[in-house]
Structure 1
Amino acid sequence: MKFCLVVGTRPQIIKSQPIVREILTHGGKLSIVHTGQHYDYEMSKMFFEELKIREPDINLAVKPRSSANQLAQIIMKLENPLRKLNPDVVLVPGDTRSALGAALCANRLGIKVAHIESGARSMEFDMEEEVNRRIIDHCSNILFAPTPWCRKNLQKESVLGDIHFSGDTMYDVFIKFKNMLDLNKPSNSKSVIMTIHRKDNIEDISKITKIIQLAKKISSKGYDVIFPIHPHTAKKIKSFGINLDGINIIEPVKYSEMLQLLSNAKMLLTDSGGLQKESYWLNTPCVTLRKSTEWVETFEGGHNVLVPKLTNSSFDLILRKLSNKKVKKQKNIKHFGNGMAAKKIVSILLK
């Protein structure tokens, strides 16, 4: 059986790692296409190497233009490679521009589409990823839901493809690395991890200014605010002339390094989807700087809270969470499967 995996961003690479391994274990033929959506290809390369995934067979090298322009590039540049490869199924992980472009292109060519991590919903119409994943789900032949809630969303929307609850392939990767790294949370942690990259946060000068001010306030209370800064975020902050003094700025880190930072942290401040899950699995309290999340499972026990607007009361809430000496253990981590999602996905595809 011939598979084609299309990726373009670091989270997609992480989600795909156990699937790549499982396909090759079963003797499947696999082609990997990198769209180049992540404009710093060397950063993506770092993840391929760490996760022991071979170099992509094809790099479309799309240009970092507007979202519509880049989506059009992905669809046009992917058409001929897909015709030549003629796979039995195109694997589309996540909800990125690359995922949408691949799903639409394969669908138009009459090639079956399998959506990995389908059914996630934030109900934010103005969020690009939300629109992407809804369209992908409705043009996919096979849909793999990472949680029961995601499966329920797909059933409510009456998608045309076959729905399967598989568990989360990111949880597969997490379990492997957690055991390998022997992650244990220190009792006296004073670090706070912050990651910001979403368009509505970084392109609004008022929002990003308030987020940086929040980080500085937390720092003034004796916490080490560690900010692995995304290149695009750094560029925007610089263009706005925002001072980052008092915040521990570091370069983007490898997957294993991020898990170690999260495991050692007192709290995570983020607008990322994947990191909300990883902080939940590591039992590190999370504050999500968004008005909604697609991972409602992480709300359990007050582990994750949404902060859509930064006010004095928001800061007070964060300080209260930081002062909590005991964090409730998650009860239903199995929402995300048993760490064998890739085995289930590949088994279903081979059948």
Structure 2
Amino acid sequence: MKACLIVGTRPQIIKSQPIINEFKKRRIKLFVIHTGQHYDYKMSKSFFDELEIPNPDYNLGISKGSSGKQLGEIISKLELHLKKINPDVVIVPGDTRSALGGALAANSLGIPIAHIESGARSYDPKMEEETNRRLIDHMSSYLFAPTPNCLKNLKSESVLGKISLSGDTMYDVFLQYKKILKLTNKKENFILMTIHRRENILNKKKISGIISTAKKLSQHGHDVVFPIHPHTKKQIKSYGLSLTGIKVINPLKYSEILKMISNSSLLITDSGGLQKEAFWLNTRCVTIRENTEWIETLKSKNNQLLTKITPNDYKKIEKILGKKFSSYKTKLFGNGNASKKIVSILFKQF
């Protein structure tokens, strides 16, 4: 068996770590291709270093630009590399532009696709990620659902590939680092905030409202720590918005973000992955989106959606801080062995 794994962003690198390790343990050849979608060191290479993942075999170094330009460049460059490697299967984790480009390139060459984190649905067609994951799922020969709800979604859509309930590989690596870091879950009086989605940062009114809410929370005694994404920083600067009153820091390593989520009294985010990590760490979460693909996190009430930004949102958030919620107990995301299941299934096929 010879496989090829496509990554390009922070979440993809994290959820791929246990897959890469499992291939290494079994001495099965795995080529790793990094598209270069996250070109900033803090957003990409530092995760390879910290998670002790070998450097990618190839880095496409795609150019900055529009989503269409990037996608086209990913596909054309990947086709050249995949022809040389000639893998039995191409593995694409998640729902990024890199994942879609990897699936389209493999499909054009007739190479079977294995989709990690298959079946997640927000039912929001405006989200690029929603379109990406639906297209990938319907191209894939092997679909690995991280939760029972994702499995249900795939069955309802009558996808053509083989569906397996694998568990979440991101949960695999989370459990590993929770133990390494000895996370105590002792809450401190600060709020962690991360914002990077286009629907938030490319809308001046929305990002202004989010910043205003963060400032009001800070004024009411809740320190707001904001690890700022490079593109978010660029947009905020272009709008001439001030971040005075908010503690702005550089992007964090994986271990650092886990510690911050574990110790924070609240996470404000628009990230899918961080919603899950807050859920696993029993940290309250406010998700600034109209919907979420991880409905499992909503049931215990520790994750709540904030669909519109209004001047009084800081009051809503303060109420959330004062409420109790049910701790995460059930193993909705597997038992930490998702990567073993996935590699075992693929190994039997090839």
Offset, 1:159:
0.5
1:217 aligns with 2:216: yes
Query: Which residue type is aligned with residue 263 of structure 1?
Result: S
Q: In the alignment, which residue of structure 1 is the partner of 2:276?
A: 277
Q: In the alignment, which residue of structure 2 is the partner of 1:261?
A: 260
Q: In the alignment, which residue of structure 2 is the partner of 1:337?
A: 334
State whether residues 300 and 330 of structure 1, in contact with CA within 8 Å, keep that contact through their aligned partners in structure 2. Answer: no
Paired with 1:42 and 1:14, the residues of 2 have a C-alpha distance of 13
Paired with 2:271 and 2:43, the residues of 1 have a C-alpha distance of 17
Q: In the alignment, which residue of structure 2 is the partner of 1:13?
A: 13
Paired with 1:238 and 1:142, the residues of 2 have a C-alpha distance of 43
> After superposition, what is the alpha-carbon deviation per residue over 1:139-176, rounded to whole angstroms, capped at 9, x for unaligned?
00000000000010000000010000000000000000
Paired with 1:341 and 1:20, the residues of 2 have a C-alpha distance of 12
Query: Which residue type is aligned with residue 343 of structure 1?
Result: K
Map 1:186-197 to 2 at 5 A.
186-187=186-187, 189-197=188-196
Paired with 1:74 and 1:235, the residues of 2 have a C-alpha distance of 24
State whether residues 227 and 247 of structure 1, in contact with CA within 8 Å, keep that contact through their aligned partners in structure 2. Answer: yes
Which structure 2 segments of 5+ residues have no match?
A: none
1:159 aligns with 2:156: no
Q: Tell me: CA distance 1:42–1:316, structure 2 relative to 1, closer, same or farther (3 Å).
A: closer
Paired with 1:331 and 1:315, the residues of 2 have a C-alpha distance of 29
Query: Which residue type is aligned with residue 345 of structure 1?
Result: I
Paired with 2:142 and 2:191, the residues of 1 have a C-alpha distance of 39
Paired with 1:43 and 1:267, the residues of 2 have a C-alpha distance of 23
Query: Which residue type is aligned with residue 89 of structure 2?
Result: V
Offset, 1:222:
0.8
Q: In the alignment, which residue of structure 2 is the partner of 1:310?
A: 309
Query: Which residue type is aligned with residue 334 of structure 2?
Result: G
Identity of aligned residues (%): 60
Q: In the alignment, which residue of structure 2 is the partner of 1:346?
A: 343
Map 1:95-114 to 2 at 5 A.
95-114=95-114
Query: Which residue type is aligned with residue 348 of structure 1?
Result: I
Equivalent position SS for 1:302: coil
Return the TM-score normalized by structure 2: 0.98
State whether residues 192 and 225 of structure 2, in contact with CA within 8 Å, keep that contact through their aligned partners in structure 1. Answer: yes
Equivalent position SS for 2:300: helix
State whether residues 195 and 270 of structure 1, in contact with CA within 8 Å, keep that contact through their aligned partners in structure 2. Answer: yes
> After superposition, what is the alpha-carbon deviation per residue over 1:97-122, rounded to whole angstroms, capped at 9, x for unaligned?
00000001101101110000000000
1:198 aligns with 2:197: yes
Q: In the alignment, which residue of structure 1 is the partner of 2:70?
A: 70
Q: In the alignment, which residue of structure 1 is the partner of 2:87?
A: 87
Q: Tell me: CA distance 1:8–1:234, structure 2 relative to 1, closer, same or farther (3 Å).
A: same
Paired with 1:231 and 1:150, the residues of 2 have a C-alpha distance of 31
Paired with 1:287 and 1:112, the residues of 2 have a C-alpha distance of 38
Query: Which residue type is aligned with residue 67 of structure 1?
Result: S
Offset, 1:313:
4.9
Query: Which residue type is aligned with residue 55 of structure 1?
Result: N
Paired with 1:249 and 1:42, the residues of 2 have a C-alpha distance of 15
> After superposition, what is the alpha-carbon deviation per residue over 1:258-289, rounded to whole angstroms, capped at 9, x for unaligned?
00000000000000000000000000000000
> After superposition, what is the alpha-carbon deviation per residue over 1:235-270, rounded to whole angstroms, capped at 9, x for unaligned?
000010000001000000100000000000000000
Offset, 1:31:
0.6
RMSD: 1.0
Paired with 2:197 and 2:190, the residues of 1 have a C-alpha distance of 22
Paired with 1:64 and 1:346, the residues of 2 have a C-alpha distance of 33
Paired with 1:276 and 1:43, the residues of 2 have a C-alpha distance of 18
Query: Which residue type is aligned with residue 77 of structure 2?
Result: K
Query: Which residue type is aligned with residue 170 of structure 1?
Result: M
Offset, 1:341:
0.3
Paired with 1:197 and 1:122, the residues of 2 have a C-alpha distance of 17
Paired with 1:24 and 1:180, the residues of 2 have a C-alpha distance of 21
Return the TM-score normalized by structure 1: 0.97
Map 1:36-185 to 2 at 5 A.
36-41=36-41, 43-185=43-185
Equivalent position SS for 2:332: helix
Paired with 2:338 and 2:62, the residues of 1 have a C-alpha distance of 31
